[in-house]
């Protein structure tokens, strides 16, 4: 059944959404990180633009019902596989940090 428990709706699916959104916004994550590394203590002031761009990108995904459904489907698929095999699958990162 695809009935979701409270913890799945409020914790597990949002976790997938966060991971996927970070991957999809990775250019903005990198820009913000780079800005912070270059500016140090002044990053709050200096990197406001990068921070806003990143937040807008992430929130755009978080508030997209289609994106939620996609992540829910991915979660249910993982849950199904886990129930069938007993093996918890690690999410593959789209980007490899090599």
The DSSP secondary-structure symbol of 40 reads G
19 neighbors 92 (Cβ within 8 angstroms): no
Residue 67's contacts (CB-CB under 8 Å, 6 or more residues apart) are 17, 20, 21, 61
Write out pLDDT tens, residues 31-58. 999 999 998 777 778 999 999 999 999 9
Domain ranges of the chain: 6-74
pLDDT at 64 over 60: yes
Nearest CA among 7, 18, 16, 25 for reference residue 73: 16
55 neighbors 31 (Cβ within 8 angstroms): no
Q: What is the pLDDT of residue 92?
A: 54
pLDDT at 79 over 80: yes
**In the predicted model, what is the mean pLDDT of residues 84-91?**
75
């Amino acid at each position: 059944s695809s009935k979701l428990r409270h913890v799945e709706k409020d914790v597990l699916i949002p976790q997938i959404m966060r991971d996927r959104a970070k991957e999809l916004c990775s250019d903005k994550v990198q820009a913000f990180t780079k800005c912070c590394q270059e500016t140090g203590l002044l990053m709050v002031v200096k990197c406001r633009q990068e921070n806003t761009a990143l937040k807008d990108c992430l929130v755009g995904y978080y508030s997209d019902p289609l994106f939620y459904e996609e992540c829910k489907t991915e979660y249910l698929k993982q849950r199904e596989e886990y129930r069938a095999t007993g093996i918890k699958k690690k999410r593959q990162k789209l980007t490899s940090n090599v």
